[in-house]
Amino acid sequence: MKFSTLLGASTLLTSAFAWLPSGKIRGVNLGSLFVVEPWMMSQSWASMGCGGQSSEFDCMLALGQEAGDAAFATHWDSWITQDDLKAMASYGLNTVRIPLGYWLKEDLVDSSEHFPRGGYAKLVTVAGWAKDAGLNIILDLHGAPGAQQANQPFTGQYAGSVGFYNDYNYQRSADFLGWLTDKVHGDDAAAFSTVFAIQVVNEPLQDTSKTGSMISTFYPQALNAIRAAEEARSVGADKQLHVQFMDGKWGSGDPKSNLPADDALLFDNHDYVKWTPGVGQNQNDYFWHSCNDDVSSSSGAVVVGEWSLAVGDDIEQTDAFKVGPANDGWYAAWWKAQTVAYEKQQGWIFWSWKTELGDDYRWSYKQAVEAGVIPKAAGDGASSGVCNI
């Protein structure tokens, strides 16, 4: 499957194959909307009554179901608004990636688990806003049953050990993906009409000794669940969703090794330079690493689904890297350099749209645009020639 090179960032293409946005994907994550990461939104987290809690699971356990449901409903109504979606489009973005937890399908939550209810209705609303703004959508299973990584609130729980890698939770995940696919093509299809991909799981372990069954069992199971839901709805090939997997470069194994042939697969790579081994901890090395960064995939079309302007924890407050007028120009150039690399492939999705980190714009696309670090036209990065010096 190839991306069109026609102009028009959010034009929807139909052909004999599943559609993709035309041009390069340029997008943002709606981080902490449906899967809260408390480090991103400490003030809002505290106002919800969740201060001191490590994850959604922990907050719901502390508040109780009814009070927790009310707190999260207030959060969903305020964290991302319709005006946010309009602003994204005005900045030349054409895609949003929406992280989701499996608990959105409420009958999958067992008696030992604690998650907010009512999120699906808000997802339909947000998807409709995105459609109205001309934005395309990737739906991402960000928080998997049992937690795909330990001590990571992006899974929805701060689990001391991983519990995802077994048949029970593979089945629950496949059930979620099949259910979500049915919703996209079913009664809520109008709101979901710009969804072009579903990601089967976000950031599994980077340890092939522990992910073998995920590759051999869950990945084919997930693909089958999505395609079976589409077949049940008589969805034509031109309307099928792309099914997205973490690319082999992520470190969980070859995602295609046990998959059947399919014309609508997409791959995801997360490229946080701050955690990339071997990059010198200075401006010059960060910049030139990004200019020369090869994120291509042997599996197929790849989108860099998460990246940011964050630098190493040990250097982020040094004179060379701290946020402020002295370094804003360097951050602006580095943002452009990263987009140069990512638009050599199918494009990019920045993490994230919004944070509550004071003046630190390095994780917030919105704040970086307002600071003049990211241009108001998202395509200006890759076309800037910043690496041709």
- The number of CA neighbours under 13 Å toward the Cβ of 19 is 18
Active-site residue identified among 203, 231, 356, 370: 203
Active-site residue identified among 56, 230, 306, 343: 306
Task: Please report which residue ranges of 140-274 form alpha helices under DSSP H.
Answer: 167-185, 208-213, 219-232
pLDDT tier at 389, thresholds 50, 70, 90: confident
Location of structure tokens 């806003």: 129
Q: Report which of 36, 6, 28 is spatially closest to residue 19, judged by C-alpha positions.
A: 6
Peptide bond into 42 cis (omega under 30): no
231 is catalytic: no
- The number of CA neighbours under 13 Å toward the Cβ of 291 is 14
37 is catalytic: no
CA 194/CA 197 separation, integer angstroms: 9
Task: Say yes or no to pLDDT of 110 above 60.
Answer: yes
Question: Mean pLDDT over residues 272-296, rounded?
Answer: 97
| pLDDT, tens digit, 9 for 90 and up, residues 335-375 | 999 999 999 999 999 999 999 999 999 999 999 999 999 99
CA 243/CA 351 separation, integer angstroms: 21
- The number of CA neighbours under 13 Å toward the Cβ of 303 is 31
